[in-house]
Amino acid sequence: MQSAGKVLVIDDEPVVCAGISRVLTRHGYAVETALGGPSALEKLQHQRYDVLLVDIMMPQMNGLDLLSRFHERQSEARAIVITGLGAARNAIEAFRLGAFDFVTKPFTSDELLSAVLRAASPEARECAALTPPAVAHIFRLGVHSWAREADGGTAFVGIQECFQRTAGRLVSVDLPNEGDELLQGELCARLRTEGGAVCTVWCPITGRVVEVNLALLQKPALANSDPYGAGWLVRLFPASFAEEARTLIPPPT
């Protein structure tokens, strides 16, 4: 049977590597492990991988240091960062270093599989070449979500074209409520796909929700057909758009 993709799990704890390996192997992935950054770099010199699962907190070489170096050896692999709950700063920096996505501890098997499924998809290989069309004013959280300023000091938040392509057709959307406070790098929304996966959307900026996209709740596929327009997720009153925008990928010049 053909493998669903080749994955390298990088964590200094053998029990974590073993647990992730069991989950992914049961779902058809070919999995190897590395107990830390130096071991991972050695493997990356000799093997090709579709997806890397990288723990942030490791001795000798942490996950961010590894991310800054692995592209020199294997630029086509997609990295998913594993970080602790509330470690938003690490997650944002990981996106700046080219991470495809991140999952927060403790995570479920479904959350892990959803992220790996998107990263291992054929569409994910094309993400680096995608440029948002005619939306030069957006600030991007990696290839994941986006934010753009709107009227009245507010800002729209949505998913990027790469996200919707790798997730597939959306069939339902769970959005926050008006008045909820969202934090940069933490949960913004959950999207369910036609294939049954549940995808987590991480918020690109901090702010209070002033409007949710009711049209999207009725027709989730708007996020597939028009992710930068009618398929937006929420409108926020940002805490500090200018400051947090500096941590995102700026609009093309």
Work out the percent of the chain whose per-residue pLDDT is above 70: 92
Q: What is the pLDDT of residue 92?
A: 87
* Structure confidence by residue, pLDDT tens digits, 58-73: 888 888 888 888 766 6
Let me know if residue 250 belongs to a domain: no
Q: What is the pLDDT of residue 190?
A: 95
Let me know if residue 54 belongs to a domain: yes
Averaged pLDDT for residues 24-45: 93
Let me know if residue 252 belongs to a domain: no
SS3 of 210-221: the string is EEECHHHHHCCC
Q: What is the pLDDT of residue 73?
A: 62
161 and 232 fall within a common domain: yes
Write down which residue in 120, 142, 157 finishes a domain.
Answer: 120
Write down which residue in 93, 120, 147 finishes a domain.
Answer: 120
Q: What is the pLDDT of residue 2?
A: 53
Q: For residues 17 and 34, what is the distance between their CA atoms, to the nearest angstrom?
A: 8
Q: What is the pLDDT of residue 75?
A: 62
Q: For residues 103 and 164, what is the distance between their CA atoms, to the nearest angstrom?
A: 18
Let me know if residue 221 belongs to a domain: yes
Q: For residues 204 and 148, what is the distance between their CA atoms, to the nearest angstrom?
A: 10
pTM of the predicted model, to two decimals? Answer: 0.89
Structural domain boundaries, residue 13: 6-120
The answer to whether residue 182 scores a pLDDT higher than 70 is yes
List Cβ neighbours of 29 (8 Å cut-off, separation of 6 or more).
3, 4, 5, 6, 7, 116, 120
Write down which residue in 120, 146, 177 finishes a domain.
Answer: 120
* Structure confidence by residue, pLDDT tens digits, 89-118: 788 888 888 899 989 888 889 999 999 999
Let me know if residue 172 belongs to a domain: yes
- CA-based angle 101:162:149, to the nearest 5? 90
The answer to whether residue 1 scores a pLDDT higher than 50 is no
Q: How many structural domains compose the chain?
A: 2
Pairing of strands 51-55, 30-34: unpaired
